[in-house]
Structure 1
Amino acid sequence: MSKLQGKIAIITGGASGIGKGMAMAYVKEGATVVIVDLNEEFGMQSIKELQAYAPESIFIQANLAEREKLAGIIDQVISKFGKLDILVNNAHASRIKTIEEATQEDFDLSFNTGFYPTFYLMQAALPHLKETQGKIINFASSAGINGDATQVTYAAAKEAIRAITRVAANEFGPFGINVNLIAPIANSPGMQAWAEENPEYYQAVLSKIPLRRLGELESDIGRVAVFLASSDSDYISGQTIMVDGGATKLR
């Protein structure tokens, strides 16, 4: 398996959950992965697993809300590897709040960890992705597409990410750079914890998924991320790919 042989990929939020699932899928396809995450403990554990497949993979501990340091992440990767082929903007933190409850602090958390890092990392990576005709994968959510209740700050940031991704697809396309979005429903640790606390609501969510299961981190979400990072997707750009078992059908 070598769809990504020799590629250098950055995955934010790569220490756990969907990010780790994608990272594992990438290294098994020959990529060297840089996982960027705030959680140093999880990051160090995950990088050891990745290095079993891709010994040069590294972990960068970073707080993506520190906007002034984002360009330095790209610089660090270029300094070490000399190039960048794939940028995956996966990290995002938010709070469950209704419109009535949401505060400026809640919006700041969602935009400072999701939207702004996506924008500034794309901006900083652009000169290097021009050289490699690389790939960008950003993350959307059905919470924004469908307007899920109690998800106002998360939904707002995710739809803002969708908007700038479409702009990037138009602006970066002439340089041979593909820019797409994944909108997943995943069997992540966070989802598992939520399901334990809300079993009835979880079953209601599951019943609305035609395939009647959550997506597996590596084999479902990770494989789509491999496709979007590989030459197999060279003629796809500006698209939101729903990796959600059929729960949302875009028109």
Structure 2
Amino acid sequence: MSRLAGKVAIITGGAGGIGKGMALAFVKEGAKVAIIDLNEETGKETIKELQEYQPESIFIQANLKEHDKIAHLVKQVADKFGKIDILVNNAHASRMKSIEETTQADFDLSFDTGFYPTFYFMQAALPYLKETQGKIINFASGAGLNGDTNQGTYAAAKEAIRGITRVAANEFGPFGINVNIIAPIANSPGMIEWAEANPEYYQNMISKIPLRRLGELESDIGRVAVFLASEDSDYITGQTIMVDGGSIKLR
């Protein structure tokens, strides 16, 4: 398989969970991947797996709350590979709290790790993506679309990402750059941990998914990301793609 042969991709939060699933899917399609993640130990483990398929792939340890360093991270990847074809903004951290309990620090965490890095990575990568007529994949969530309880800061940041993605699609389209969103439900480590602690809530959630299962990190979420990163999606931009087993049907 070589749908991404010769392509260079940045994946934030690529050391684990959905990010790792996408990174594996990308390297198996021939892409050289730079995973950027805060967790150094997990990042080093993941890059060893990726390099079995694509030896040139790299791991960069970084704290994405340090927004002033994002442009340097993008340049570091571009200097290493000579170009950037694909940007995947996947990283995001947040706390589950009711609106009544939410503090400014909770909003800062969600926006500082989710919305702002997404914006600044797009801004910094734009000159390189103009040269390659590249692809951007951002991440939203059903939590924002549904207004899930105890997800105020997460939902707000994810909907802000959807908003800026639509703006980017309009602004970047004339340069041949596609900008889309994946909104997934997946069996990430965090989801598995939550399911084990809340088995009744988990079963209730699964029963409401038409396909009656969580998405697999690589084969479900990763493969859709490959599609959006490849030439097969050249005429799709500004869209939110629900990779959630049919849970939410956008109109």
Scaled by the length of structure 2, the TM-score of the pair is 1.00
Per-residue CA distance 1:78-109 (angstroms, 9 max, x = gap): 11111000000000000001111100000000
Kindly, what percent of the aligned residue pairs are identical?
80
Instruction: Determine the C-alpha separation between the residues in 2 that align with 1:200 and 1:211.
Output: 18
Per-residue CA distance 1:178-221 (angstroms, 9 max, x = gap): 00000000001110000001111111111110000000000000
Q: Residue 193 in 1 paired to residue 193 in 2?
A: yes
Scaled by the length of structure 1, the TM-score of the pair is 1.00
Letter in 1 for 2:34: V
Aligned ranges for residues 30-109 of structure 1 at < 5 Å?
Answer: 30-109=30-109
Instruction: Determine the C-alpha separation between the residues in 1 that align with 2:203 and 2:109.
Output: 29
Matched residue, 1:249: 249
Structure 1 portions without partners, runs of 5+: none
Instruction: Determine the C-alpha separation between the residues in 2 that align with 1:144 and 1:97.
Output: 14
Over the aligned positions, Cα root-mean-square deviation in angstroms equals: 0.3
Matched residue, 1:179: 179
Instruction: Determine the C-alpha separation between the residues in 2 that align with 1:6 and 1:86.
Output: 11
Matched residue, 1:131: 131
Q: Secondary structure at the match of 1:161?
A: helix
Letter in 2 for 1:203: Q
Q: CA deviation at 1:11?
A: 0.2
Letter in 1 for 2:235: Y
Instruction: Determine the C-alpha separation between the residues in 1 that align with 2:153 and 2:207.
Output: 26
Instruction: Determine the C-alpha separation between the residues in 2 that align with 1:71 and 1:145.
Output: 30
Instruction: Determine the C-alpha separation between the residues in 2 that align with 1:68 and 1:231.
Output: 32
Aligned ranges for residues 140-179 of structure 1 at < 5 Å?
Answer: 140-179=140-179
Instruction: Determine the C-alpha separation between the residues in 1 that align with 2:73 and 2:193.
Output: 31
Per-residue CA distance 1:104-124 (angstroms, 9 max, x = gap): 000000000000000000000
How many residues get paired? 251
Show structure 1 runs of 4+ deviating over 3 A. none
Q: Residue 20 in 1 paired to residue 14 in 2?
A: no
Structure 2 portions without partners, runs of 5+: none
Per-residue CA distance 1:134-171 (angstroms, 9 max, x = gap): 00000000000110010000000000000000000000
Q: Secondary structure at the match of 1:179?
A: strand
Instruction: Determine the C-alpha separation between the residues in 1 that align with 2:78 and 2:218.
Output: 26
Letter in 1 for 2:165: T
Aligned ranges for residues 202-213 of structure 1 at < 5 Å?
Answer: 202-213=202-213
Q: Secondary structure at the match of 1:92?
A: coil
Instruction: Determine the C-alpha separation between the residues in 2 that align with 1:144 and 1:188.
Output: 18
Instruction: Determine the C-alpha separation between the residues in 2 that align with 1:236 and 1:2.
Output: 21
Q: Secondary structure at the match of 1:94?
A: coil
